Structure 1
Amino acid sequence: MHILISLLLLATGGPGEAAHWQKLKCPYEQNHISLPRVWCRQSSEECCSGLAFSWDTPSVHGGKLKVTEDSRSFTVELLEPSHGEGVYWCGVLGRNDTIIKLAEGYFYYSTTGSYIWAYTRWILLCLLPTVTTFTCMYARRIARHRSQKAEEPYDDVAVPRSLTDPRYENAASCLLQER
């Protein structure tokens, strides 16, 4: 059952989609429709450097930056930040070449390790219920074995000799006999 749920999660979410493509939704006002879009990395509180592109551009930087249009917003999807990790803005370029910031978000540079982790976590998610089940079964077996061992008589309990044998005399009784 756990494996079935894990596989369902794997099929619906995909192993790497959320880990690699980072998104930022940029809502705009009606008067911004004719202005060029902007994607840039924040360099100070009030400034950023990047690129401007037209409304009909679906991708930039060889497909590493995708733009999808929505009603009253556009969404920027980024595979790898071209200017490194940091805070990125999406916006529009105003009439006096001023950037009107619509949204901002932190974008990180995806490394090979993050690609490996994106797939490894799904494998581990599938294996976790199996390992848990076998660990519980093993622990029960060990507990059952220990309880059976505790119920078994010890070898030295069933002594064939009698307790009246002189080797088992009480030291105090020996002293009394000597008097």
Structure 2
Amino acid sequence: MQSLILIFLLAIGGSEAVFWQSLTCPYEAQQQNLLRVWCRQTSAECCTGLAFSNSSQLADGGKLRVTQDLHSFTVEVLEPNPTGGVYWCGLLSRDDTIIKLAEGYFHSTSAAFIWSFARWMLLPLLPVVIICTHVCTAMKANQCCKKQDEPFDDVAAGGALTDPLYESLDPQNQRNSSGI
């Protein structure tokens, strides 16, 4: 168990240096010259954020890295926003509406990002841990019961059944033995 905790802590610490979440936004060839958009969803049909040119490599003061491809661009979040949530990437059309290309959930911290994956790996282990704990507890209880059932002295155990104190307390046996 200690080794699992150590591995988890190392994963959190190691991910701080390279914690990047990214979103790839594919577009059509005729949309190549439109401004790129990165925004946080505020409602089902709306978002707030920023627009940048198709030649930008950094956006939002260096918090975002943008890489271009022939038919897509990718936004990497280098510094997570303190408010995680659903983010969109898209294009700003000529009539100033956002053409949403992709969306993704972005976590506010690296620990939240790691936990979002780790919980699904740990979830199947929960029943195994419960079963193992139950089996171990039952085995220990069984061992304790066996030790209590064993007599402490062979001589005392042999004479215990013939001792008059242990005779039956059945009322008929008491009448017969008392002469009634």
Fold shared per TM-score above 0.5? yes
Cα pair distance change 1:166/1:38, threshold 3 Å: closer
Show CA shifts across 1:90-124 (max 9, x none).
Answer: 1112234332221233445449x748x75xx69xx
RMSD (Å), alpha carbons: 4.6
TM-score by length of 2: 0.57
Cα pair distance change 1:159/1:46, threshold 3 Å: closer
Correspondence for 2:88: 89
Correspondence for 1:174: 177
Please give the secondary structure, in 1, of the residue aligned with 2:159. coil
Please give the secondary structure, in 2, of the residue aligned with 1:56. coil
Distance 1:50 1:166 in 2: 91
Please give the secondary structure, in 1, of the residue aligned with 2:48. strand
Distance 2:167 2:139 in 1: 41
Cα pair distance change 1:89/1:172, threshold 3 Å: same
Correspondence for 1:159: 159
Correspondence for 2:47: 48
Cα pair distance change 1:114/1:160, threshold 3 Å: closer
TM-score by length of 1: 0.57
Distance 2:159 2:91 in 1: 96
Correspondence for 2:73: 74
Correspondence for 1:38: 37
Query: In structure 1, what residue type is equivalent to 2:74?
Result: T
| Aligned-pair CA distance for 1:166 | 8.9
Distance 2:102 2:165 in 1: 97
Distance 2:105 2:86 in 1: 4
Query: In structure 2, what residue type is equivalent to 1:153?
Result: P
Query: In structure 2, what residue type is equivalent to 1:171?
Result: Q
Structure 1: segments with no counterpart, 5+ residues? none
- Written as runs of structure 1 = structure 2, the 5 A alignment for 1:1-179 is 14-15=11-12, 16=15, 21-44=20-43, 46-78=45-77, 79-81=79-81, 84-110=83-109, 114=112, 118=115, 140-150=139-149, 152-153=150-151, 157-159=157-159, 163=163, 168=167, 170-175=173-178, 177=179
* Alignment: residue pair count: 157
| Aligned-pair CA distance for 1:47 | 4.1
Cα pair distance change 1:109/1:147, threshold 3 Å: same
| Aligned-pair CA distance for 1:37 | 0.9
Structure 2: segments with no counterpart, 5+ residues? none
Q: Which has the higher contact order (CA 8 A, sep 6+)?
A: 1
